[in-house]
Copies of this chain bind each other. A is one copy, B any other.
C-alpha cells in the first residue's frame, strides 16, 4: 500500500473517532439534517493516481466550493476585465458581511466572498437565462471531473431562494451600486443553483486536477490563470479563517458550508475532503484538520 493510501486510511480512522466535530450549518433546512458523523477524503496525484478513504462516494452539497469553478469559467471567458467588478484582497470580515461592500462602493473584496461570487455569476449570465448559464456550469464540472453523474439538487436551491435574505440583501446592494447586470433574482437564482451542485469527494478531487498545472492532466485554463486562482484560494479561500488555513496547512484551498473543502498541492495533488461540522469561521472542522495532517504527512506545502 502506498504511503498516501496509508496516510488517508489513518486520517480517516482518526476523524471517525474525533469527539469534537463542529456544528452543521443550520441556516438551510436541507443542509441541517445531514449526519455530522460522516467523513471522506480523496486525492488525485499529478501522475493520475487516485486514493480515497471514508465516505468518498457520498455526494454532498458543494456550496461555496462552486466559486472556484465559476471563477475559472469567468476568467476563461472574460479574462482580466472581470477585475473591474471584483477585487483580489482578503476580506477580513465575516463571510456574508455587507459592511465591506458598502465601504468599497459596490466592488466586493474578492470573488470568494458571497458578494464577489454573485458578481462572477452575474458576469457569466451575460444576458442569457439562468438555465443556460447553469447548463454551461454543469458541463464544466462534468468535464473537469470526467463524470456525467454530477447534478444540482433543486430542493436545496429552492430552500436557499426562500430563506437567503442575506444574499438578497447583498445582491440588491450590488444592484444599488450598479455592479449587477441582471435583476437580483436572476443572478441569485443562478447562484443558489450553482451552490446546490452535489459531488462526492472522489468527483471533487478529480475536478480539481486542472489546478495542478501538471502535464497529462485536463487543461481547462492557462497555467498563468491557474496560478492566480490558487493565489486567490490561498489568501481568500476560507473567509476570515484564510490566514489560519495558510498558516496551518500551507496550501491553497476553498471551503463550503456543506462541509467540503478542495485544496491544491501545486504540481502534485488535488485534495478533496468532506465532513459536515463547521468551525466558528464556517469551514469544515475535521476537513481542515484532515488536510493539515495529510499535508504534514506528505510534506506538501507551498512554502518550502
Interface residues of A in 203-225 (CB under 8 A from B): 211-214, 223
Of the candidates A211, A231, A264, the one having the most CB atoms from chain B within 10 angstroms of its own CB is A231
Which of B88, B166, B168 is within 8 Å of A244, CB to CB?
B88
Chain B residues, Cβ within 8 Å of A122: none
- List the number of copies, as a whole number: 4
Smallest Cβ-Cβ distance to A174: which chain B residue: B165
B304→A226 contact, CB < 8 A: yes
* Given A109-B92, A169-B176: A227 touches B250 (CB 8 Å cut-off): yes
Q: How many residues of A contact B (CB 8 A)?
A: 55
B-chain residues with CB within 8 Å of residue A302 when the two chains form the complex: 231, 234, 266, 302-303
Q: Known contacts A98-B173, A172-B169, A304-B267: does B230 contact A235 (CB below 8 Å)?
A: no
Nearest Cβ on chain B to A211's Cβ, whole angstroms: 7
Given A89-B240, A302-B302, the answer on whether A234 and B211 have CB atoms closer than 8 Å is no
A228's nearest neighbour on chain B, judged by CB, is: B247
Contact of A165 among B90, B93, B173, B240 (CB under 8 A): B173
Contacts A90-B92, A98-B169, A172-B165; A236 near B231 (Cβ below 8 A): no
